[in-house]
Amino acid sequence: MPLANLITPKKINVLGGLRFSFSFILIAFFFPAFSQDNSPYSRYGLGDLVPSTNMNTRGMGGISAGYADFLSINFNNPASYSSFQALKEAKAKKILYGRAILDLGLNIENHTLAEPNRTGKFTSSNALFSHVQIGIPLRANWGLSFGLRPITQISYKINQGGKVLDAVTGLPTADSTQTLSQGDGGTYLASAGTGFRIGKLSLGFNGGYLFGKKDYSSRRSIINDTVAYNSGNFETKTTYGKLYFNMGLQYLVKLDSSTFMTLGAYGNLKQKLNATQDIVRETFYYDPNAGNVRIDSAYEKNGIKGKVEYPSSFTAGFIIQRVPDNKKGGWLIGVDFSESSWKNYSFYDQVDSLRNNWEIRVGGELRPSLGSARKSYFGNVAYRAGFFFGPDYIQVKEKLPVLGLTLGLGLPIRNYNRLSPGQATLINLAVEYIKRGNNNNSLKENMFRISVGFSLSDFWFAKKKYE
């Protein structure tokens, strides 16, 4: 039977008038995601890696090492926090002000799984929150950001039939088996960081708590016409977490009066996460009202302590940017190279089918003009495109190549609030097509992802300067 056929679905007022709609924060944390996602590759390592960038850079192939924008938050490289629109002095009115940002996003994905040279396919969809991040300028060239985002996702469900093998001869018997293998969980990062600029050099640091869980189970039933057998459940639940740190830098080079190049890099060292594991081996029966009901436990042990080795990673790149003005538009092009040492990963001293991986990301952005949106709305839209490629960090027998193509839009929303003329709202859209695997792999995966990001900003305080 083809492998693909075995898979089964599964308003706040802040200092001086900062006004962010509380409903957007509720959407990010409590969004009622629908999910029938089913990715067999997510059973390896810590699961499938989820997109690691905000919607601006995701539409540009994921470039982030040299990217900085005062209307959004590049949480990959904390050095970019120094570019938040900082405190300034307006000469006429002598007002100090700073722009705070709320940046959040949602992902809608569609996966198609298929075996090479087979006609059977399996399709699943899900909608999940991407990130929620807040950025605040502290002083000129010094910013603070904090938020929450997922790092990996585990979601698979495989139903497989077979025959019971004779213990002596090793040959199939008349009895059949039905095995349901299932996994859930993922990894999240709650972090806070700061970035500051000295001259042309910006430095930044993120610190936070990296945490997650893995819940793997196999439920096996034996089917016999005359004898009733109890079903067995083999389940392992693990939770893990520890403090996490990374750092980044950016260096600005002026090419001419309106064109700049930014060199950037960020990364983290290997981290050892503390883990606690529960193991159960039990028999059960299924009740339509109560679900799976335990009959007896053959083995059970709780609170097993261990370690999870989370690997080091490093990303470096650059962007070249022409800053738009009221007369001419602007553009941006960038390249990133990233590398992660997943071969050093271990889970309770056990290695997995993982490899060191690298990725090259290329992308760009075009802004036709920066005039009044009333005169030319589409001239103020940011148009983005990019691509990325490299081997996946999962390797089951053969390498798993990954290729992605991306498109994006930055859509400004007109501000109708006369009481707060500094408000700026952007909707950032990113569309990605990702091809994972080829005919050399036992399973190929094609993914189509639509990501929607909301960037809301306002002056977070405004006060007169007394002399």
Q: Quick one: pLDDT at residue 204?
A: 97
Average pLDDT estimate for 427-445: 91
What is each CA distance from 366 to 114, 223, 454, in whole angstroms? 37, 62, 19
How does residue 2 score in pLDDT terms, banded at 50, 70 and 90? very low
Q: What is the mean pLDDT of residues 396-424?
A: 83
pLDDT at 257: 83
DSSP 85: -
Tokens read off for 123: 């399709």
Question: 458 versus 382: which is more confidently predicted?
Answer: 382
- What pLDDT, on the 0 to 100 scale, is given for residue 379? 79
284-323 pLDDT per residue, tens: 766 667 667 677 777 889 999 999 999 999 999 999 999 8
What pLDDT, on a 0 to 100 scale, did the predictor assign at position 202? 97
252 CA to centre of own chain? 27
Strands 401-413 and 382-391: antiparallel
Q: Report yes or no: 201 and 79 within 8 Å, Cβ to Cβ.
A: no
Amino acid, res. 199 = G
- What confidence tens digit (pLDDT) does each residue in 174-228 have? 567 778 888 899 999 999 999 999 999 999 999 999 999 999 988 877 776 556 6
Quick one: which of 7, 39, 135, 119 has its CA closest to 83?
135
Q: Which of 75-79, 93-97, 161-165 has the highest mean pLDDT?
A: 75-79
What are the b/e assignments for 230-246, b being 16+ CB within 10 Å? ebbbbbbbbbbbeebeb
Give me the sign of the Cα torsion angle 151, 154, 155, 158: positive
The domains found in the chain, sorted by start residue, are: 3-464 (2.40.160.60)
Round to whole Å and give the CA distance between 280 and 283. Answer: 10
Q: Whole-model pTM? A: 0.85
Q: How far apart are CA 345 and CA 359, in angstroms?
A: 18
Q: What local confidence, expressed as pLDDT, does residue 416 receive? A: 66
Please compute the mean of the pLDDT values over residues 441-461 and round it to a whole number.
Answer: 86
Determine the residue type at 166: D
* Confidence grade of residue 378 (pLDDT, cut at 50, 70, 90): confident
Which whole number is the average pLDDT over 70-81?
Answer: 94
- CA atoms of 182 and 282, how far apart (whole Å): 16
Number of C-beta neighbours around residue 362 at 10 A = 19
Judged on CB neighbours under 10 Å (0-12, 13-18, 19+), 229 is: middle
Rama region for 141: left / alpha / beta (φ>0; ψ in -120 to 50; rest): left
* CA pair distance 222, 414, nearest whole angstrom: 63
**Share above pLDDT 90 across residues of the chain, in percent, rounded to a whole number:** 50
Residue 299's pLDDT is what? Answer: 82
- For position 11, what pLDDT does the model report? 36
CA 314 from centre of chain: 17
Say which DSSP state 14 is in: E
pLDDT average, residue stretch 8-27 = 41
Q: What is the pLDDT of residue 389?
A: 97
What is the rounded average pLDDT for all residues in the chain? 83
Whole-angstrom Cα distance, residue 218 to residue 216? Answer: 7
| Band of residue 29 on the pLDDT scale cut at 50, 70, 90 | very low
Query: Comparing 115 with 92, which gets the higher pLDDT?
Result: 115
pLDDT at 85: 81
Q: Confidence band (pLDDT; 50, 70, 90) for 122?
A: confident
When comparing pLDDT for 425 and 326, which is higher?
425
Residue 375 pLDDT > 70: no
Q: Would the pLDDT of 271 be above 70?
A: yes
Tell how strand 121-139 and strand 424-436 pair up.
unpaired
Average pLDDT over residues 95-110: 84
Question: Looking at the predicted structure, is the pLDDT value of residue 87 above 90?
Answer: no
Return the number of other C-beta atoms located less than 10 Å from residue 15's C-beta. Answer: 12
Candidate from 11-25, 243-257, 329-343 with smallest mean pLDDT: 11-25
Largest CA distance in the chain: 95
Q: Are strands 313-322 and 330-340 parallel, antiparallel or unpaired?
A: antiparallel
* pLDDT classification of 267: cutoffs 50, 70, 90: very high
Query: Residue range 73-92: average pLDDT?
Result: 81
Q: At residue 89, does pLDDT exceed 60?
A: no
Dump pLDDT digits (tens) for 323-369.
877 677 889 999 999 999 999 999 999 999 999 999 999 999 998 87
